[in-house]
Chains A and B, each alone.
Chain A
Amino acid sequence: MHPTDKAARVAGAVYLSMVVTAPFSLIYIPSTLIVRGNATATANNILAHETLFRLGIVADLITSIIFICVVLALYRLLSGVNKTLASLMVALVLVSAAVGFMNVLNNIAALTLFRGSDFLAVLDKPQRDALAMLFIRLHGQGNVINEIFWGLWLFPFGVLVMRSGFLPRILGVWLIINGFAYLTTSLRGLLAPQYMEKVSNIAFPVLFGELAIMLWLVIKGAKVQPFAAVAS
């Protein structure tokens, strides 16, 4: 197997593992445990399924770590195309991973408040639950903010795929559109949150750009042209 092809398949496999962890904490946990606008019901759910909630916290952290591994694998694959763009891609992901890690603290704060340790006894249970809900919401806001990076890093990634010569250009274009979708969703969430759901639904199909490139990397790898092999 050509080294570039191998690098492509490794990057794809690491990338694909995010498909398991990211939706678990981003979609599954909120949809099963969080009752929008109802702090008491959310508190009861989370206390009844504390381990599940904690698994969500762990999945969040693992996703950030995988994200770093993905971008380093992609750097190895694509730095030969353009080193500046590849470095930019790494820089954007590193910042995003830091934001992701710190954002987990919001969920931990929520859990601490829901459990209501002794030192929190000065607050009534409804007040504790409301504060915990505030932190749950902040965790959601943290993801909205981080979506800016989830979008931005796809621009250098998309351009590199387009220019690579060993990956289909259409996937690069799709990644760039995917990046714009994240940016739009994030800015809508910040400036006009009332349209949040609607825009997310519209933007949803283009978010498959990432899934497409993952699958391509794993299944097809990199088609290295003979001249590229000679050049390397």
Chain B
Amino acid sequence: MSSTHNPGRVAGFLYLLLVVLAPVRLIYIPSALYVRGNATATANNIATHELLFRLGMVSDLLCGTIVIFLTLAFYRLFKAVDQNLAVLVVILGGLLPAAIDFLNVLNDAAALMLVRGADFLSVFDKPQRDALAMLFLRLHHQEIVAAEILWGLWLFPLAILTYRSRFLPRFLGVWLIINGFAYLIISFTGLLLPQYEDMVSNIVFPALLGEMAFMLWLVIKGAKPQPLDASASLSAVG
């Protein structure tokens, strides 16, 4: 069974690529380079590991690109189940997050310019430049908090499509719905009660594995939309 004849597996591999790349900028770069509340140390880290920081920007851009192809792959997989919901998956999960991802890279670009301190920035002292750089890094994070609303919302149509599809297990659909709510909870906590953001993220973490389970299922088992007449005749026999 080659992946070209299995649209589910195509989506699965794109999803896998996303799951591998997204943590580079989301988790690895902050943990390797950021020093919480210390702009100077953070700026120095970024200056010494500039290429790593730039790779983080590129991984953000790649993720923004992959989600477009991923959601179009889902569209192909699910359009026979419900075309309207499949379009919603592309808009909420592909096009809007991609645009936000791309723009968010500009916050990183601003931070990097300030850290490098081009000539025209010499009117600011280094501590001022570092503080401004920190501001843009924070903005990058805030943009992610905002985008998490979309990361949650697109899972609802995806979950319903999975649940109704008959070619994917229903428990994955249920888990995806829970996963969607988890993102919404994280996002609204970050916006309304930022002091609890880390705590809530840790609590809801298991829910976020829904996407992982879904992705692994697609990679390993794949999924093929069944022709409607075949399922009809099956139910007639059953």
A and B bound?
yes
A-to-B contact residues, CB < 8 Å:
37-39, 84, 87-88, 91-92, 94-95, 98-99, 102-103, 106, 124, 126-127, 129-130, 133-134, 137-138, 141-142, 145-146, 148-149, 152, 187, 190-191
B141 at the interface (CB under 8 A from A): no
Q: Are A190 and B54 in contact (CB under 8 A)?
A: yes
- Cβ contacts under 8 Å, B120 to chain A: 37-39, 129-130, 133
Known: A91-B72, A99-B99, A191-B58. A124 touches B94 (CB 8 A): no
Residues of chain B in range 59-96 having any CB-CB distance to chain A below 8 Å: 61, 64-65, 68-69, 72, 76, 90, 94-96
Cα–Cα, bound, A145→B104 (Å): 10
A124 to B99, CA, bound (A): 35
The 9 closest A-B CB pairs, nearest first, are A98-B99, A126-B123, A39-B120, A141-B109, A95-B98, A133-B120, A130-B123, A99-B102, A95-B99
CB distance from B176 to the nearest CB of A (A): 22
> What A residues does B121 contact at CB under 8 A?
130, 133-134
Which segment, of B29-37, B110-118, B180-188, faces chain A?
A: B110-118
Cross-interface CB contact of B51 among A98, A146, A152, A191, cutoff 8 Å: A191
Interface residues of B in 118-157 (CB under 8 A from A): 118-124
User: Interface centre among A84, A145, A190, A191, by most B CB within 10 Å?
Assistant: A145
**Chain A, residue nearest B118 (CB):** A37
8 Å CB contact of B103 from A88, A102, A134: A102
- In the complex, residue of chain B having the shortest beta-carbon distance to the beta carbon of A186: B61
Instruction: Enumerate chain A residues within 8 angstroms of B51, measured Cβ to Cβ.
Output: 191
Q: How far is the CB of B92 from chain A (nearest CB, A)?
A: 13
Given contacts A91-B95, A130-B123, contact A141 B76 (CB under 8 A): no
Q: A99-B99, A191-B54 in contact; A142/B106 too (CB < 8 A)? A: yes
Q: How far does the alpha carbon of A152 sit from the alpha carbon of B68 in the complex, in Å?
A: 11
B123 touches A191 (CB 8 A): no
User: CB of B220 within 8 A of chain A?
Assistant: no
10 contacts between A and B (CB under 8 A): A39-B120, A84-B72, A88-B68, A95-B95, A95-B98, A95-B102, A130-B120, A146-B102, A152-B65, A191-B58
Which residue from chain B places its CB closest to the CB of A135 in the assembled complex? Answer: B110
B123 touches A92 (CB 8 A): no
The residues of A that contact B54 with a CB separation of less than 8 Å are 190-191
